[in-house]
Structure 1
Amino acid sequence: MTPGTEIDPVSGASAQVASAAPKLPTTTKRPWIRRRGITGALAAFGVVAMAAAVIAPTGMALAEQPEADTATAFSLAVEDTQDLTVTVEGATIAPVERGSFEVYVKPKPKPKPAPAVASTSTQSSSSAPGPVFYTGGGAPAEWMAAAGIASSDWGYVDYIVSKESGWNPNATNASSGACGLVQALPCSKVPGNGYDPVDNLRWGNGYATGRYGSWANAYAFWTANHWW
C-alpha cells in the first residue's frame, strides 16, 4: 500500500487520502533566536561599561595619592620592630643600629693581694712580751704617799701588803698570776705597770674602798678569811 492510501472498513475499497501537512524546511532559521543573541551581547557590554565607569575614578585617585599618605600605623610599627628569627635552638634577635656612639667600659679592678701575715704558731714563745719588773728604789711610806693613800690607813695597808707580797714589788703568784704588792688579779687590770709599786698601790686603794668601803673594812675581812 502506497502512502496516502486508506482501506474502507465496510467496502474494503481503497481510497486516496490527503497527505499530511508539509514539514518546515530544516534550513530555515528562526528570527527570535537571532534577536535573543543580540540582546544578551548588548547586556554584557553594558555591565562591563558600568563596572569600568565605577572602578576607573577610584583607580585614578589611588594612583594620584602621594606615597606618604599610604603609610599606616601597622606599616610604621613594622619598621620599628626588630627582625626575629626563630630556630630550633631558640630565638635569635638581629642586632639593631641605634646610633653612632660607643660605650666604653673600664676593666674591673683587680684586688690587691693582702700582705702575708706570719702564723702565730711559728712565732717563738720567747718573743711574747714578759712582765716588766720593778728595779727602782724607794720605801713603803713613799710608795703609799705617792699612790694617794691617807696616812691614817697606812697601818691597814701595811698589814695586808705584808701578808700578800712581803712588800716585794715583783712578787708573782705562780698559780693565779696575781702580781705586785697587793697581788692584783689579773695583773693586766692595773693601769700602767702591775709591778710598779705606786701603780700597784693606787689600784689597790681603789679596790679596797670600792669593794669593802674602806681599808679598815678590807683589813677586817682579810683577818677573818685570810684573803681579800
Structure 2
Amino acid sequence: MEADTLALAQQMDFSLWALFARATLIVKLVMALLVLASFWSWSIVIQKIITYRAARREAAEFDQAFWSGEPLDGLFDEIGPQPAGSAQKVFAAGMVEWRRSHRDDGGLIAGAQARIDRSMDVAIAKEAEKLQKGLPVLATVGSTAPFVGLFGTVWGIMHAFIEIAAQQNTNLAVVAPGIAEALLATGLGLLAAIPAVIFYNKLSADSDRIVAGYEAFADEFATILSRQLDA
C-alpha cells in the first residue's frame, strides 16, 4: 500500500503551473494578484532607477554650467523660465522671482530674499514629489504581500483538510498536492514582498540624496543673490 501511494505521488506534476492549475479559485486569485503586484513593483523599480540616473546626470551637468563663470542672467536666458531639468527648474524659479522683484527704476521690492527662497522651496517640493511618486506602491506591496500570500496558504490548507475529510484518506497522494498548492501562495507573497522592501529603502535613500542636492544648490544660489542684494 505504501509503495502504491509513493508511486502515485511521484507521478503527480508538481510544477508551478500544475500547482496553480490545481488550486482553488480563491488561491488562484491570490496567486494572480501577487504576480501582478510583483510585476508592478519591478516596473516601478526599473522606471525609478532610470529616472534617478537621469536626474543625477542632469544635476551634475547643470552644476558644472552654473559654476563655469557664466553670468547668471545669461544662463537663465539660455535655459528659459520653464526648463526640462529638475535642477534647472530650481534655478529658474529663483531667477524668475529675482527679476520680478525689480522695480521699473531698477530698485528691489522689499522682501525679495524671502520670496526667492520660497519660490525655490516650492520648486524643490514639486521635484521631490515627482521623484517619490510610485514609492508608496513598493511600501504597500512590501508590507501586505506576505499577508496576502498567507491568506492564500490558509485557504489552501483548509481546502486540503476538507478533501482529506471527504476522502477519509491521509496518505501522501491526498495530502501533498493541497499543501504544496497552499505553500506556493506564501512563496509568491515573499517573492513579491522582499524585492519591494529592499528597493523601497534604496530608492527612498536615493531620492533623499537627490533632493538634498537640490536644497544645497538652492542655499548656495540664495547666498549669491543675498550678496547682490546687500551690495
Greater CA radius of gyration, 1 or 2? 1
Say yes or no: TM over 0.5: no
> Which interval holds the TM-score relative to the shorter structure?
under 0.3
**Larger strand proportion, structure 1 or 2?**
1
When normalised by structure 1's length, the TM-score is 0.22
Higher relative contact order (CA 8 A, sep 6+): 2
When normalised by structure 2's length, the TM-score is 0.22
